Chain A
Amino acid sequence: MSAIEFGQIGVIAGKEFRDRLRNRWVLAVAAVFTVFALVIAYFGAAQQGAVGWRSIDVTIASLVSLVIYLVPLIALILGYDAIVAERERGSLDLLLSMPITRFEVLLGKFTGLAGALGVATVAGFGLAGLLLFYQLGSAALFHYGGFVLSAFLLSLCFLSLAVMVSVLAEDRMRASGIAIALWFFYVLVYDLLLLGLLVISEGKLNLNFFPVLLMLNPADIFRILNIFGFEDVQRLYGLATVFPETLANPWLLGSAMVFWIIAPLGVAAWRFK
């Protein structure tokens, strides 16, 4: 085929991004993130009988639990119909009759939606971050920045999966079903399965490959990325303690997330012929 034209990717990405700004999707998601972050930061310890600002470590740990549920769901909902909706409506033929390759259409869709997610994540958590900065000081901001960045990476992993679904699914109904199933699997079921495996094996299992199994779920990578380094947080989590310190290098974990962004997109590009 011919060389990639980034201008064409930009045209598609620009349209997707503007569509999400215009229908107030970006605003709504940013508002949800801000409100949740502030509520968790202030009321997170209410169960222990106290309200008020806590340490940044504990605040982030609480936010991580929220983000693990919310962000994959939002990303999957955003991207599951990227291609299949155009195919079903019939607008894909006209789009593909333009001087553009399928790969450029796919990458443009992904980039535009990723931009919408990025702006919503940074604006939503950023606004909350500014308020936290006043309460907790600038040292907290560094950790918080890392958390926001990893939340964005997490959203891209699931957006990539969603775009793959949008290519593979025959129609929108099926695509939405698969997207919800993916959310259930990675967010709710996967860790339970791993725990079950541990219990059934009664400790006879070689624990060395456990970290690899955790790496197979982007939500777990996100969790590990955010709780390692926080001594007082580590003990809150059972699973993460089986994770060896040597593998807990943020660059390694970050690369694993990047793999999770590229791989589903690669499958999508391969199947979108």
Chain B
Amino acid sequence: MGKKNDEEKGRSVEQYLDLPRILEERGVSRRDFMKFCTAMSAALALPVTFIPKIAQALDEVKRPTLVWLEFQDCAGNTESLLRAANPTVAEIVLDVLSVDYHETIMAAAGHQAEGALAQVVKEQKGKYIAVVEGSIPMKDGGIYCCVAGRSAVDTAREVCGSALATVAVGTCAAYGGIPAAAPNPTGAVGVKDAVPSATVINLPGCPLNADNLTATIVHFLVFGKLPATDSLGRPLFAYGKRIHDNCERRPHFDAGQYVEQWGDAAHRKGHCLYKMGCKGPETWHNCPVQRWNEKTSWPVGAGHGCAGCSEPRFWDTMTPLYRRLPHVPGFGIESTADKIGAGLAVATAVAFGAHGVISAFRHKDDSADAKED
């Protein structure tokens, strides 16, 4: 992503890229390119007739400018993006984007870097794509995250507010993520909450799956608009189904074969992790299909339950990670809903049993009373 040729200087949004030439230079065959287009149409759940359209659109692509802002983050999404094992077509497609600002990977620093950002915002107002990684602190005037002397919320308002669209990558940028976990000392929120006027698409996950970012950008390049989203601003092609419903271990769930303990026979056989607290049934993500690290594996495939990382407030609501249900508020950490519930039922039985004993003893007095009446 970071490499820039000299000839690319002075580019504009309208500049056409010769993608076939770039692919040839990088040693990517036309066949590999078509395979990539097929994979993208599959990721976006488009019919096969779209494959040539994707290829054509990418051949004729105009280069949109992209700026990548990092706020309260761990740079995990940047890592996820940069850690491709081999140079892939996806990497080159992302390369097509003119990344004018990315704190982690850009060569420029200090005033030069900030100058590049200011230039994009000024000269390409309403035309560039902003990518935001990390949450934005709102408490105390947003002083808990400042870059180049400006608060994150101030920068986000200007950069995301002037962007054609903002892609919030990772759960922190989408919903506040781990910095927003209780008690949320910095008042961290996601981009849409910090800049309500911005056009935001959320790609949550901890980290996001780079394939979903590629597919979102391909969708944007092919159709000129962002993909359809759910009520949480996530694209339906990637977050439209629960993990549970696409899980390779689902047959074991339906059969009734569960891991009871780490390393037991069922765990070694790859049975369902439901009883180990897997949050697949409450998490919307395409992990089982897209997978990670060049489609090698994914958490549940590797034998660990889903943590629900792509859901809002996952750190507060999906914990404890190795139990099915959250703790009941106000009770001890060892109390489960079912223990409390059984206690409630027993207490009720005891209370009414006691009431019954007293009532039984009052029986005779009662009938005497009734005669007086």
Whether chains A and B associate is: no
Interface on A for B, CB 8 Å cutoff?
A: none
